[in-house]
């Protein structure tokens, strides 16, 4: 029940800020990205608590947050440049490849989401469709896996995930994301459906990646910041990979705005 009420509060909040756009949206993704980095530092043993406690972690948090804001206001390339600077700085100070990797992992979430959102209607549509895709993939995978069961997807990393859940998540995610895109007036063609399917698979890969990281460092949850859900990483692991994939797809097809490029196939 606690998990349900947390979702009731957080999902409308995320959608409302996404709809509002501008600086509030960039600040939200900056905050989420910074929390993810702090949790990453905790998982790998560089910080004993969520609040930054060492200079290298503090610098990482600052650059991760700043890169998201810059990406929203100045574009993807500029945001990536700030993020790379943060990675180099953290690597030099901490001498930890794991901590520098955490800057990339968490920072790319904020940079890609902020750049996708931008300031126009196409950016709004792209982020809402992406959020629907990831949430629907996760939800349908959970219910299909519990209902149908069957062979495990990758038991060594995530013992509860099944192939039936993965396929159910893929189908449900694509259908609901396509419906969301259609409601925004987007033409639904085979190439767009293919892109949505790829992003659904990528989001599931993001979930498995986080599970592998936690298993490697013998951690059950990334944190406890969200009641009933665990840590922030546990909620956005699939979104991180999907946002990176969406930004790449949008950049390949968008002359000026990657959000428009994502949905224009």
What was the pLDDT predicted at 241? 97
The whole-number pLDDT of residue 151 equals 83
Cα→Cα distances 252→99, 178, 238, 246, Å: 30, 20, 21, 10
What pLDDT does residue 226 have?
58
* 0.95 surpassed by pTM: no
Task: Please give the Cα distance from 243 to 118 (Å, whole number).
Answer: 14
SS3 186: coil
157-173 residues labelled b (16+ CB within 10 A) or e (exposed): bbeebbbbbbbbbbbbb
pLDDT of amino acid 170:
96
Cα 88 from chain centre:
22
Residue 40, pLDDT score = 92
Query: H or E segment at 239?
Result: helix 232-253
Residue 160 backbone dihedrals phi, psi, to 5 degrees:
-90, -15
Half-sphere exposure of residue 78: CA atoms within 13 angstroms, side-chain side:
11
Can you give the length of the chain in residues?
265
Question: Contact at 8 Å (CB) between 46 and 56?
Answer: yes
pLDDT value for 179: 97
Question: In the numeric block, which tokens belong to residue 53?
Answer: 């406690």
User: Quick one: pLDDT at residue 49?
Assistant: 58
Taking the chain (265 residues) in consecutive chunks of 10 residues, what is each chunk's mean pLDDT? Answer: 57 83 87 91 73 73 88 86 92 90 93 88 92 92 87 82 92 96 94 97 94 86 61 88 95 80 89
Q: Which two structure tokens, joined as six digits, stand for 260?
A: 């428009």
Yes or no: say if 235 and 207 are a contact pair by the CB < 8 Å rule. Answer: no
Query: What does the pLDDT read at residue 169?
Result: 95
Helix (H, G, I), strand (E, B) or coil at 226: strand
């Amino acid at each position: 029940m606690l998990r349900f009420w947390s979702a009731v509060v957080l999902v409308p909040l995320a959608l409302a800020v996404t709809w509002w756009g501008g600086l509030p949206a960039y600040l939200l993704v900056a905050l989420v990205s910074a929390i993810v980095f702090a949790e990453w530092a905790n998982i790998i043993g560089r910080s004993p608590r969520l609040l930054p406690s060492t200079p290298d972690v503090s610098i990482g948090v600052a650059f991760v947050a700043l890169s998201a804001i810059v990406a929203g206001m100045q574009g993807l390339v500029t945001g990536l440049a700030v993020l790379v600077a943060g990675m180099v700085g953290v690597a030099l100070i901490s001498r930890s490849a794991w901590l520098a990797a955490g800057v990339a992992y968490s920072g790319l979430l904020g940079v890609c989401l902020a750049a996708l959102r931008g300031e126009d209607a196409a950016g709004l549509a792209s982020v809402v469709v992406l959020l629907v895709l990831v949430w629907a993939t996760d939800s349908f995978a959970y219910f299909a896996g519990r209902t149908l069961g069957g062979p495990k997807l990758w038991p060594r990393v995530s013992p509860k995930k099944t192939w039936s859940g993965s396929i159910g998540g893929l189908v449900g995610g694509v259908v609901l994301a396509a419906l969301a895109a259609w409601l925004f007036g987007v033409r639904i063609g085979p190439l767009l459906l293919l892109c949505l399917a790829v992003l659904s698979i990528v989001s599931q890969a993001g979930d498995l990646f986080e599970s592998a990281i936690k298993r490697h460092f013998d951690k059950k949850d990334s944190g406890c910041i969200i009641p009933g859900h665990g840590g922030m990483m546990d909620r956005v692991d699939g979104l991180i990979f999907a946002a990176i994939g969406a930004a790449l797809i949008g950049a390949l097809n968008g002359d000026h705005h990657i959000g428009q490029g994502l949905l224009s196939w």
